[in-house]
Amino acid sequence: MDNCRNNCKSSIVLPNSITQIASMPYALYLSLQGKYFVGYADELEFGNGSSAWAGLINPSCSGVNLHVYVWTVTNIGTSPIRAQIWFNSSPPGHATESELVTPANTAICPLPRPRVRLLEASNVAGEPEGGVKAFVRRALPEVTIADEEVGKFIFPPGGSFIIFLSNPESPNEAAKGRVAFGWWEERIK
């Protein structure tokens, strides 16, 4: 299989002959076009007075609007955690880019690459600055919380969708979490 991928011609372009029909889920329609991506931030560490975050960052020069389709938070620690959802904020700490990102359609050659970046940071001090804290959720130990937004959260170039994790109910304990996203990118005309 890798040999086939290595022999892929870069001139292959996905035709725009995909027609959406009423019974086709919109996420499938986008995936067929190579516009739907999934990714996650694993083993985010926080607690003992620190927080962590993961987020979809739409670079100011991306040329696309970011549509959040789904997000999940998994508490892999022993204390309850709080997940704050922030729109268009600047989160604290030094972020790294997650390598755990892929197009949902792996049959396209060459594989599409997202313009939106999935960034993450563990053991940070402070809270996000600017933007809006849109809502807050709570996750018990060994529980995954999720929400299907179906693309209704839309972020232009320069925007962001951040999930900020903390454990205020037991702030002196270590905590761990995992954050995952599904999203699509719509080219700005």
Quote the CA–CA distance of 187 and 189 in Å, as a whole number.
Answer: 6
Average pLDDT of the chain to the nearest whole number: 91
Does residue 132 carry a pLDDT above 90?
yes
Cis peptide bond prior to 25, omega within 30° of 0: no
Does residue 101 carry a pLDDT above 80?
yes
44 belongs to a structural domain: yes
Quote the CA–CA distance of 87 and 66 in Å, as a whole number.
Answer: 12
151 belongs to a structural domain: yes
| Tens-place pLDDT, residues 18-71 | 666 667 888 888 999 999 999 999 999 999 999 999 999 999 999 999 999 999
Q: What are phi and psi of 96, to 5 degrees?
A: -125, 155
Instruction: Work out whether the CA dihedral 149, 150, 156, 158 comes out positive or negative.
Output: positive
57 belongs to a structural domain: yes
Cα–Cα nearest to 127, from 79, 163, 80: 163
166 belongs to a structural domain: yes
pTM, 2 dp: 0.88
What's the number of domains the chain is made of?
1
